Structure 1
Amino acid sequence: MPLSSPLKPNDPTIAGRPVAATIAVVVREGSVLLVKRANMPDEGKWGFPGGKIEAGEGINEAAVRELFEETRVVAKPHRVFTAVDAFDHDEQGRLRNHYILIAVLCEWETGTPVAGDDALEARWFPLDGLEHADVALSMDVASVARSGADLALQELGA
C-alpha cells in the first residue's frame, strides 16, 4: 500500500517545490553583516545577504555573488554550516514560497557595506545583544549569527 501525503501536489493553496537559496554569514571584529530586505519574504526585516542559487552555480559561489550584489563586500567562502527553512505566506495564510536557506561562513576580505540589489540598507551589527536588538530580524538570524560567530572563532580566529 503506497504512503499518502497530507499535501496534494496540485493544491493551489500551496507553493511548488522548495527553492534552494544561500545566505552569506560574515563575522568581523565581533559584528555580523546584515541587510534590510527590500522584497518579500521578510520585506523590511534584517537578515543575511543572500538569494537564489542559479542553475550551474555552486553554493559557495552563490553566497559570495549575492553578498557582493547586496553589499559590495568581498569575502572568501569557507563552508556550509547550517540550513534553515523560510516560509512566505500570503494574507490568508497560504504558503506562497518555501525557501531552504543554506548558510555559508564567509571571511571578510574588503569593502564597506553599501546597500545594493534588493537590500534597503546594509550594516554591521554587534553580535553581543543581537537577540535583543531594537530592530526587526528575520527568523533564526540571531541563532545562525551566533553559530557562525562560534565557528568563525574556531576556524578563522575572527
Structure 2
Amino acid sequence: MSQLPKLGALAVVLRDGAALLVQRKNPPDAGTWGFAGGHVEFGETFAEAAVRELSEETGVIATPVQLIETAEFIHRDASGTVTHHFVLGAVLCDYVSGEPVADDDALDAAWVPLEDIYAKRLPMSDKVDDVVCMAAVFQA
C-alpha cells in the first residue's frame, strides 16, 4: 500500500433543484451516494479530472467553473490502521448535456433533489450535503 495520499477530484453538478450523484461501487464508500469523481492523473488539473471522471462514470458532459472546496478523508480499519487516504478537490461544473447512466465504478447515477440531500434520505459519503450547499451559493 502506498504511503502517500491519493489526489482526487469531484464533479459537483446542479440542475433544476437537483445534484448529480453516483452510488459508489468500490470501497471505502461502497453503496453510498456522492459526487462523480476519481483520481487526478499526473499533469491533470482538478477541473480536468472532474469533468473526465463525470463523463466516465455517468456519460454526462459538463464544463468546469471553479474549485469550491478541498477535503481530506482518512479511513481506518477496526484496529486503527489507515486503509485509505484521499485529498479531494470539489469542482463546481455547469451541466452541458446527457442523462446520467451508471458506468465505470458507479452502481447507479441520478439527479437527486437538493431537499433529499439536505434531509439525508440516502446513505451519503461525508460532506455531500455541505458541498451541495456551497455549490448552491456559488451558483446563485
Q: Normalised by the size of structure 1, how large is the TM-score?
A: 0.84
In the alignment, what sits opposite 2:28?
41
Aligned ranges for residues 121-136 of structure 1 at < 5 Å?
121-136=108-123
- Runs of 4+ with >4 A deviation: none
In the alignment, what sits opposite 1:148?
135
In the alignment, what sits opposite 1:25?
12
In the alignment, what sits opposite 1:69?
56
- 1:79 and 2:66 correspond: yes
Does the 8 Å CA contact 2:116/2:122 hold for their aligned counterparts? Answer: no
Distance in 2 separating the partners of 1:27 and 1:135: 17
How many percent identity over aligned positions? Answer: 42
- Structure 1 residue 33: deviation in Å? 0.5
Listed as ranges, the gaps of 5+ residues in structure 2 are none
- 1:111 and 2:111 correspond: no
Does the 8 Å CA contact 2:60/2:98 hold for their aligned counterparts? Answer: yes
Distance in 2 separating the partners of 1:129 and 1:68: 24
In the alignment, what sits opposite 1:96?
83
Matched residues, number: 140
The structure carrying a bigger strand percent of its residues is 2
Distance in 2 separating the partners of 1:84 and 1:150: 18
Q: Normalised by the size of structure 2, how large is the TM-score?
A: 0.94
Listed as ranges, the gaps of 5+ residues in structure 1 are 1-11, 154-158
Distance in 2 separating the partners of 1:88 and 1:35: 20
